[in-house]
Amino acid sequence: MDWRRLQVFNKIANFNSFTEASKNLKKSQSALSRDIIYLEKKAGFKVFVRDIRGIKLTKEGQALLSITKEFFNKIDSLK
């Protein structure tokens, strides 16, 4: 897994929006989308369900979010 792409995933999931994550990370939505597609290919599962109303985490995406939150919290506590 790629550290940066996990951070992107975490931001998108926390904002529940590619648009808001894009503003926060100062990256284009298409760049974030490419990051998520790459992450999904490497992980072997979809992390978001995309539809006309927005995005939702898949079951696997929810599990990954839980793991990434714990990981980033532990990293932050080391600072």
pTM over 0.85: yes
**Residue 46: which residues within 8 A CB-CB, separation 6 or more?**
40, 58, 60, 61
pLDDT at residue 12 above 90? yes
Tokens 């995406």, residue located = 61
Residue 79 pLDDT? 80
User: Which token pair is 65?
Assistant: 């979010």
CA dist., res. 20 & res. 2, Å (int): 21
CA dist., res. 25 & res. 7, Å (int): 10
Burial class (CB in 10 A: 0-12, 13-18, 19+), 35: buried
What is the tens place of the pLDDT at every residue in 54-66? Answer: 999 999 999 999 9
Taken in order of first residue, the domains within the chain and their CATH numbers are: 3-78 (1.10.10.10)
